[in-house]
Amino acid sequence: MVGYAYPAGGCLKSEFEVTVGGIALTDISSVIFSGNGISAVVLKHFKPLNGELETKIRDLIKTEREKTGKNIRMPGEMEVLRKIAGKEGISQDDIDTFIEVAKQRRDPKRQPNVQLSERITLHVKIDANASVGKHDLRLLGSNGISNPITFIVGTLPEILETEPNDKPEQAIAAPVKLPVVINGTILPGDVDCFAFDARKGMKLTVSVSARELTPYLADAVPGWFQAVATLLGPDGREVGYSGGFSYHPDPLLCVRIPADGRYVLQIRDSINRGREDFVFRATVGEIPCLTQQFPTGGQIGTKIPVHVSGWNLADYETTIDVGDTPGFRMIEPKPPILGFVLFQAGAFPEFQEPQSGAYANKLPELVFPSTVNAIISKPGKHDVYSIHLKAGTAVVAEIYARRLGSPLDSMLRVTGPENEPVASNDDHDDPAWGLITHHADSQVTFTAAKDGIYKIDVSDTQGKGSHAHTYRLTVAPPQPGFAVRIVPSSLNGRAGTSVPLTARVLRRDGFTGEIDLKLVNPPAGYELLGAKVPSGADSVQLTLKLPKDSDAEVVPLTIEGHAKIAAVDVVHKAQPAEDRMQAFFYRHLVPAEELLACVTGKPKFPVRARIVSDVMDQMRPLCAAGVAIPAGGATTLQLVGINQIPSPRALTFALNTPPTGITMAATTSDNTTHLTFTADASRTAPDNVGNLIVNVFIEPLAGPPNPKAGKIAMPVKIGTLPPIPCRIIPTPLIEDSQ
């Protein structure tokens, strides 16, 4: 598990060292980047000593101190410790690690965090032909590939912060040259200062990437590094400040320099927190920055002019070919322009908001279905549209604003032919957009009760407005559909084994049908098992069977979701994602660039592994039959022949991420294992649960734990059963016999 990279990027045609922090990083051998033109070599691995070895070194220190009366923990006495350790068979690398950990513990700016306790040092090379922008970085080792983290390739010169730089006078003595990208890390109570010379009238841009690099932190509130940027003038007074731009948490400072002189940029956390994964990239200079666009979408099959404006950027129009497929895409301007155009391709006729006064006392009338592009251009403004609907017409009215980069916090109200309230909505959650925490777009669904003119009122909930408050309002019949997210985006296992994964389904507009999941042109030996999402289910666990005879390899995979909607075959590519926790509670699906599967090599015990693989294949028809569990009751699945697996000790079975309210117990008799599944009546209800995934283990050797090793023997996982379809059924009624 990796938590951060520092620096989290670099410029074209450069080579530099990168530190990647996390946990369980032993035996990392190489690095995988998405995209092209980036490579890396692993230089070293830092890992704190285990408890037994650290205690041994401390005992040596204590003994030597008692003999000599010297405090050999002091830096000047470390050579004594090295000589003693050598005689005891402790390596110099272990001593170096002990010393570094001791220094970290004494440093008030460093707080111990087990999840970030290990570090990998890389030598990274970015070629001239590398793709500019975001990439996924993953580590590859004996246990497989890690989760992805963000790595950015830019075009401007880059530097690393140099400590100490907490005070403006320290930065003033070593100014940086603009334009530049500054890479830094904020530790507890840290304030990073950077000085530069600027001239009067210069239109300075400071764009800080912090949450962009690490979207969510599980163990911090508000759930990310909330960076703050402050600009001090030559006289030390504040010239500019930003704690975020629009609804984006990352700061954007746009300042016209008031006088020639040396300025200081300060970057810190908003509440003075900090640790190793509070990493930032600050782009500083007289750099163009795109801040708004209109419209933010168009109808498929057309080409439309889009007006773009921003800071250090002359207003201009660009023509966008909408294409022939509804959906979203990001259109990035040529470097070094900061920002991007997020664009929606729609399926219905499109209109733009009429000019002021164009309708006099008459409301603009929409056709059904259609999309209107408009702007809440001033505070307190309401846009009101009329639309004629027939009785019985099913309608979905939806705003796209925040999801397209607009600061609008929309409010949507619908009234009927007699001005009666019909529907209203402020915020509508859309889990497909995992990087948004405030789902400020509105959606209402209703059926017209009578023929007549309906009014649709669009406003900003907070009464705000500007030329940046753009939106798209679509009024149309329900468009049943779905999207699929595959979690996690890195799948690891030995040759011939099955790896659990989860398909999360994001349904919309009442679609409840089954979805078949299929690998697209899979490499030989790769197979999805249990790849059907039941009707109405929002997620399903399934397994990926890895090839039996494969050596270590990493392969990209593509999964599609297939469903029939209104007698039409619909296919959507599944998006790989990571399930991330925010601030101890909230969870989000964060998209990844690729879905990668890693075969970590041949099994340690190849004969047993092949038998396990063959037996699991024999279990397919038994598992595929599935189980129907009465709510409040139990049912048993019999696995005949599973005990063919050679094992010196008993096999045990455990549910992998069991659904709420479902438990399992296993008993064995002769050649049959009986898996009994129980459904808690208070926590389950009749429904399709999806698949149950059961892992198979060999019990550890009997005997007490070794206190010196500090470890307890754990069961050894040897395989995973084929997915077991499961549904909860009503509890059968018991007839009264009297």
Q: With the C-alpha atoms ordered 254, 258, 264, 266, is the resulting torsion angle positive or negative?
A: negative
List, for residues 71-86, the tens digit of each pLDDT value: 655 555 567 777 777 7
The pLDDT, as a whole number, for residue 357 is 44
Q: What is the CATH number of the domain that holds 425?
A: 2.60.120.380
Strands (E) across 199-244 are located at: 203-209, 227-232, 238-242
**Domain co-membership, 13 together with 144:** yes
* End-of-domain residue from the set 346, 361, 381: 346
**Domain co-membership, 621 together with 671:** yes
**Residue 13 DSSP label:** S
CA distance 206 to 266: 11
248: amino acid identity, one letter: H
**Domain co-membership, 612 together with 513:** no
548 Cβ contact partners less than 8 Å away, ≥ 6 residues apart = 495, 496, 525, 610, 613
Q: What is the CATH number of the domain that holds 671?
A: 2.60.40
Q: Which residues of the chain have pLDDT under 70?
A: 70-78, 354-362, 701-712, 733-738
CA distance 120 to 139: 9
Q: What is the CATH number of the domain that holds 485?
A: 2.60.40.10
On whether the CB atoms of residues 336 and 288 are closer than 8 A, the answer is yes
* End-of-domain residue from the set 574, 602, 630: 602
The pLDDT, as a whole number, for residue 360 is 47
Residue 666, CA distances (Å) to 541, 625, 677, 727 in order: 21, 18, 9, 19
- pTM of this prediction? 0.91
**Domain co-membership, 469 together with 325:** no
Q: Is residue 595 part of a domain?
A: yes
Q: Is residue 112 part of a domain?
A: no
List, for residues 579-611, the tens digit of each pLDDT value: 999 999 999 999 999 999 999 887 778 888 889
- Locus of tokens 């649960």: 689
Q: Is residue 727 part of a domain?
A: yes
* End-of-domain residue from the set 443, 477, 511: 477
β-sheet bridge partners, residue 630 = 729
The pLDDT, as a whole number, for residue 267 is 98
β-sheet bridge partners, residue 45 = 120
Strands (E) across 430-526 are located at: 443-447, 452-460, 470-476, 481-487, 490-493, 498-508, 515-519
CA distance 211 to 222: 11
**Domain co-membership, 12 together with 131:** yes
98 Cβ contact partners less than 8 Å away, ≥ 6 residues apart = 49, 54, 57
Q: Is residue 703 part of a domain?
A: yes
**Domain co-membership, 12 together with 149:** yes
Structural domain boundaries, residue 400: 351-477
List, for residues 235-286, the tens digit of each pLDDT value: 999 999 999 998 899 999 999 999 999 999 999 999 999 999 999 999 999 9
As for how many domains the chain has, the answer is 7
**Domain co-membership, 417 together with 431:** yes
**Domain co-membership, 405 together with 307:** no
CA distance 551 to 602: 6
- Locus of tokens 């409010």: 411
In 10 A of CB 593, how many CB atoms? 17
**Domain co-membership, 616 together with 685:** yes
